[in-house]
Amino acid sequence: MRNVLRTWQDEIKKTFSGRADAPPDWTLKLAEGDDPGYHLPGSAVWAVHGSMTPIVGGIRTLLMQSLHPGALAGVHEHSNFRDDPLRRLANTIRWIFTVTYGSTAAAEEATRRVRRLHEPVQGNYQDNDGGVRAYSANDPGLASWIHLAFTDGFLAAHKIWGKPIPGGTDAYVRQWAQAGTLMGVEDPPLTEAQLHGQLERWNAGGELRADARVKETVEFIRNAPLHPLLKPGYRILFAGAVYSLEPRYRDMLGLSVPRLGPFPLPVRLATKAVLVVVHFALGGPLRRRGPSETAARKRLRRLGEPLADVA
Go through 43-60 and write b for each residue having 16 or more CB atoms within 10 A of its CB, e for each that does not.
bbbbbbbbbbbbbbbbbb
3-state secondary structure of 260: strand
Q: Which helix (H) or strand (E) holds 197?
A: helix 192-204
C-alpha 296/C-alpha 103 separation (Å) is: 8
C-alpha 258/C-alpha 234 separation (Å) is: 14
Q: Which helix (H) or strand (E) holds 162?
A: none
Q: Helix 85-101 crosses helix 104-118 at what angle (to 10 degrees)?
A: 150
C-alpha 156/C-alpha 180 separation (Å) is: 18
> What is the residue extent of each domain of the chain?
2-310
C-alpha 74/C-alpha 66 separation (Å) is: 10
Task: Read off the pLDDT band of 282 (50, 70, 90).
Answer: confident
Amino acid letter for position 278? V
pLDDT in tens, 143-184: 999 999 999 999 999 999 999 999 999 999 999 999 999 999
C-alpha 160/C-alpha 171 separation (Å) is: 17
Task: Flag whether pLDDT at 201 surpasses 80.
Answer: yes
Spatial CA neighbour of 202 closest among 256, 145, 150, 287: 145
Task: Read off the pLDDT band of 299 (50, 70, 90).
Answer: very high
Tell me, what's the pLDDT at 311?
Answer: 41
Q: How would DSSP label each residue in 232-251?
A: HHHHHHHHHHHHHS-HHHHH
Q: Which helix (H) or strand (E) holds 139?
A: none
Q: 30: which DSSP letter?
A: G
31 contacts: CB under 8 Å, gap ≥ 6: 295, 296, 298, 299, 302
C-alpha 182/C-alpha 180 separation (Å) is: 5
Answer yes or no: pTM beyond 0.85.
yes
Tell me, what's the pLDDT at 129?
Answer: 83
Task: Read off the pLDDT band of 91 (50, 70, 90).
Answer: confident
Among the residue ranges 147-161, 209-223, 281-295, the one predicted with the least confidence is 281-295
